[in-house]
Amino acid sequence: MSSTESAGALAGLKVIDLSRVLGGPYCAQMLADHGAHVIKVEPPQGDETRGWGPPFDADGISAYFAGINRNKRKIALDLAKPQGRAVLLKLLEGADVLIENFKTGTMEKWGLGYAETLSQKFPALIHARVTGFGADGPMGGYPGYDAMVQAWAGLVSVNGAPDSGPVRIGVPLVDLATGMNACMGILMALYDRQRSGKGQFVDATLYDSAVALHQPHAPNYFMGGLKPKLFGNSHGNLAPYANFPTKGRNIVIGAGNDAQFRKLTQLLGKPELADDPRFKTNKERIANKPALEAELRALTAERDGEAFATELMENGVPSGAVFEVPDVMEHPHTKHRDMVWSKDGYRNVGNPVKLSRTPPAVRTKPKTFGHDTRDVLKEHGFSDSDIEGLIKDGIALVEIKKA
């Protein structure tokens, strides 16, 4: 990180984060990294991901929780109790954004629905809700976890190889995409508020986010009625675009046009492949993909994967050595791009959104449960005796409530 730390593009923005697990917290962390003042409000039992380990750090914080909850102040309230909801309403005074991912209908049951209550009390508030499937429709109200939505939305069906069958994508892509979409929606609503002076409701669902990821499968279906096949490490619309063996790491090669393919054949020492009638254009290469990939596998087998992938890139042919996570996190380009952040013993991936004048930063590492409960309540007008009373009555918490 740079030694000159910016306050961030969103400095002065107050966000109340009621969300748990991944999509909502990731959205809030994106805002916090860019300077928003985020107050994370956990339930008495804590965010579930506090227990999703090992590993855990010296303070007992799981790596999973730490990955999506930096730069936030941490308090805890029992919102199932009317007194807890009264405290929340106090926190919302002067807030710009509320993020939550409760089961559909929960906020309304508590008398905190956007249309009926929050938009009336706080007309400038942006209320962002992250859910699995939304509030209505045939699947409205269903619970949503990443893997299940990957299945319902067709992502599992297009991932994998013929011999493996459909396979879940190995990162929680849907949760992360939904967090990003919620973040974009919040920023759009804030921009509109500058003109209108009014807040609005932001509806981000895992299902919508997953469906929106179907490029090029959805256009292929709409235009040609094509049902995607399992291609494994290759591609249905482009060849070569696949994973090839070497004597070291496997490499991915993607020649996106005829010129790149010709350069590839030259670097492989067999330029005549570019003039083979079976491989002259992408259309022919797709039609003869098994033969093409067999030719290329034979030529890459004795190469050093990482060195050859770099040589291809230097000559304008897209390629990538198949790195593992430790390789990536310790790679000099990852560090050059400021994608590893460290502070006070905390180390994790950085924020991918770079701004030249107001860059993101890690200001505080993830905190223990209820770390800021007393301070935040005091800043919102509660006296010391009020705060101790709330803690004694289990309305506000500084320690996780045991089940």
Residues 292-341 have pLDDT tens digits of: 999 999 999 999 999 999 999 999 999 999 999 999 999 999 999 999 99
pLDDT band at 4; cut points 50, 70, 90: low
Dihedrals phi, psi of 354, to nearest 5 degrees:
-100, 130
Q: Tell me how far CA of residue 85 lies from CA of 22, 80, 396, in angstroms.
A: 23, 7, 11
Could you read off the pLDDT of 352-403 as tens digits, one per residue?
999 999 999 999 999 999 999 999 999 999 999 999 999 999 999 999 988 7
Q: Which of 41, 107, 38, 45 is nearest to 71 (CA)?
A: 38
Over residues 18-44, mean pLDDT: 98
| Euclidean distance between CA atoms 134 and 142, whole angstroms | 8
Active site residues: 175
Give burial (CB, 10 Å; 0-12/13-18/19+) of 209: buried
Q: Give percent of the chain with pLDDT exceeding 90.
A: 94
Residue 3 has pLDDT above 50, yes or no: no
Q: How far apart are the first and last CA of the chain?
A: 40
What's the pLDDT band for 2 if we cut at 50, 70, 90?
A: very low
pLDDT tens, position by position, 136-185: 999 999 998 999 999 999 999 999 999 999 999 999 999 999 999 999 99
Query: What's the average model confidence in pLDDT over 107-132?
Result: 97
Q: Does pLDDT of 1 surpass 60?
A: no
- pLDDT, tens digit, for every residue of 166-175? 999 999 999 9
When pLDDT is averaged across residues 27-48 and rounded to a whole number, the result is: 98
Interval 110-121 mean pLDDT: 97
From residue 330, alpha-carbon distances to 63, 70, 183, 336, 346 in Å are 18, 21, 29, 11, 15
Averaged over 189-198, what is the pLDDT?
Answer: 98
Helix, coil or strand: residue 152: helix
* Cα–Cα distance list, 301 to 130, 243, 245, 249, 318 (Å): 47, 12, 5, 10, 18
- pLDDT band, very low/low/confident/very high, at 13 (cuts 50, 70, 90): very high
